[in-house]
Amino acid sequence: MNKAFETNTYQNLFVAYGYDEAEVATRMKNIWETIFFGSDEDKFYFEVGDDMGYVTDTGNNDVRSEGQSYAMMAAVQMDDKDVFDRVWKWTKTYMWMDYGVHAGYFAWSTQLDGTKNAHGPAPDGEEFFAMALFFASKRWGDGEGIFNYSEQAREILHACLYNEHPMWNHDNKLIKFIPEVEFSDPSYHVAAFYELFALWANEGDRPFWKEAAAASRAYLEIACHPVTGLNPEYGNYDGTPNYSRERHHWFYSDSYRVALNIGLDHVWFGPNEALTRAMERQQKFFFETNPGELNNYIYEVDGTRVDESILHPEALIATNAAASLATSEGSAPEQARFFVEKFWNTPLRKGDRRYYDNFLYLFCFMALSGNYRIWK
């Protein structure tokens, strides 16, 4: 498969599987508009005054750096500069920390009025902020102040490495779950982003990001179980599940994003055989275990079922489909097609838990339809 970074060509896997191109484009537009501009029962983006906006985690009734950064990435991919700038201004106004041990980072959670719920950051927010800002710079050009997008991105990434509590371990080049701990979250590893940071970050920081891309791919290989392909929510640096916090050693909500990250890396920078095999194992596990409309079970990474219900079934369906970006030309193409078709036939989620499921739904649909792109 060609690297989109080199060719600027993005396959529409839906069309490759026989779906109508115009219908795919209409569906893409409707997903975006439902999430950002739909009814109050559907959307989770809200505008504030003339120039700000935020995304609420509808399951927890707060604003998260994760959601704000996701909104910015979605906005730049969908070419909506107004949404992008509104969300970024709200984020800088209420979430950014300019003093203390976390200066240069963003509070991971605030109330809907911007009051900080915590003064600690979550590194996945920072990496998505930086990537979205770089793309905004490339797509729309830099402005002034906080809208000098590329400058803001470089400052974020420099803080991630050289804050008093860095977000990456400087020895093994792996992202941490939070800056104060020495374990990771496999779903934070977005090697495709680090390849671009290695081109666009401060010149002195670029070698680190190149090494981080290679380190993250190697980490995901060992974090995905050798039989099931499943990965834990929190993982030790040796890839084993981290048991320090209850429930997070399971293949659980955060874990689902790994499949999307691997699929995106496959599209942008080419295949990684070990990670393709890992995604084939994951698809095989779910293909054989529970091929119904929704998977309602939680699993240990070895496939042992946990007696507890899943929180985000639509997110799992979407990301299993995104794994097909890496597996569609592999050893089990029927599985790859099965999960894409299952996703196509799954609607957006309704109700209080819709935020996480529908954001992953949006990103997976963008990627599968060839609309999750590198802007350079």
Q: Cα separations (Å) of 241 from 186, 211, 247, 260?
A: 10, 23, 10, 20
Q: Which of 37, 36, 34, 24 is nearest to 371 (CA)?
A: 24
Q: Is 23 a catalytic residue?
A: no
| CB 253 within 8 Å of CB 230 | no
Q: Is 66 a catalytic residue?
A: yes
Q: Which of 305, 339, 334, 335 is nearest to 320 (CA)?
A: 339
DSSP 302-368: TSPEEEEE-S-HHHHHHHHHHTHHHHTTSS-HHHHHHHHHHHHT-PPP-STTHHHHHHHHHHHHHHH
Q: Which of 224, 160, 212 is nearest to 186 (CA)?
A: 224
Residue with tokens 């979407």, as numbered in its chain: 318
Alpha helices in the chain (DSSP H): 4-7, 13-16, 21-37, 65-77, 81-94, 123-140, 149-162, 191-200, 206-223, 257-269, 273-289, 313-322, 324-327, 333-344, 354-368
Determine the 3-state secondary structure of 168 from DSSP.
Answer: strand
Rounded Cα distance between 128 and 123, Å, is: 9
Q: Which of 57, 62, 66, 314 is catalytic?
A: 66
Q: Which of 233, 254, 265, 357 is catalytic?
A: 254
Rounded Cα distance between 123 and 186, Å, is: 12
Active site residues: 66, 254
